[in-house]
Copies of this chain bind each other. A is one copy, B any other.
Amino acid sequence: MCQLLGMNCNVPTDICFSFTGFQARGGLTDHHRDGWGIAFFEGKGVRVFLDPCASIESPVAELVRNYPIRSLNVIAHIRKATQGEMRLDNTHPFQRELWGRYWIFAHNGNLIDFSPQLDGRFRPVGSTDSELAFCHIMQSLASRHPEGMPAPDVLHRTLRDLATEIGGHGEFNFMLSNGERLFAHCSSHLAYIVRKAPFAVAHLSDQDVAVDFERLTTPQDRVAVIATTPLTDNETWTLIEPGNLLSFSHGEPEDLGATETLAFTSQSVTN
């Protein structure tokens, strides 16, 4: 199983602390050594750092851990290959442009007998089921909303339908962002935490590293961190119930008329 990490904030925030714990899962505290990547949105722009080697040994990961890039939306992925060789073109996250915005996608899972009809507008470059699913999502968004980016609740509904359809082919945990919102779909494992005032000290599960967010934040800051499994061992993370797609905006899950998704399906866990 791969590892996913996402962050959505109301003010540009760096991900150095969470990434420190996450990076350890790429060969140190976990066995995902088949490449890793991370995408940072800055305004409408995005930069993606990829390295088709273990994150714990990656000079690029060292840069990311030590160079505070402030972003509203971040998606990171550590790969344990299921389909597709260990190559750069199979390394998540993947990037495409639609409606004059960049879209970033990363997937954890495995899709079986999944061969959507592609019309050629978005084609996979590599050989993963993940990039194929991403191209199918992009093509479906483009064809179902030919007028351009729909309203947030409509976009969420289309993505939820697509996630359910593709999820019928197997495990399909994913994160998707266009720089405005971050969508997180849970098929088996995904948890999140919203950090806001009053801030406290957080301690990583994967490394003996702690940070006092009280000293690094203002009372207005709000940051949602989403990960395959909780990254800290002294905070309360919320498990997302399988089958749900959450939309994060301004550092918290949005209520997009999706009460049926949110109210009854999140369960809290203290680690």
Task: Enumerate chain A interface residues (CB-CB to B < 8 A).
Answer: 42-52, 59-60, 63, 66-67, 87-91, 95-97, 99-102, 121-126
Count of identical protomers in the assembly: 2
Q: How far is the CA of A59 from the CA of B47 in the complex (A)?
A: 14
Report the minimal beta-carbon distance from A140 to chain B, rounded to whole angstroms: 15
Interface residues of A: mostly helix, strand, loop or mixed?
Answer: mixed
Q: How far is the CA of A44 from the CA of B63 in the complex (A)?
A: 24
Within 8 Å CB of A67, what residues of B? 59-60
Neighbour of A89 across the interface among B45, B51, B59, B90, CB < 8 A: B45
Question: Closest 4 CB pairs between A and B?
Answer: A45-B88, A45-B89, A100-B123, A42-B88
Report the minimal beta-carbon distance from A16 to chain B, rounded to whole angstroms: 13
Report the minimal beta-carbon distance from A44 to chain B, rounded to whole angstroms: 5
Additional A-B contact list (15), CB under 8 Å, known A42-B89, A43-B87, A48-B48 = A42-B87, A42-B88, A44-B126, A45-B88, A45-B90, A45-B91, A45-B126, A46-B88, A47-B48, A47-B88, A59-B63, A59-B67, A95-B95, A101-B125, A121-B121
Q: Which of A88, A96, A99, A123 has the most CB of B within 10 A?
A: A88
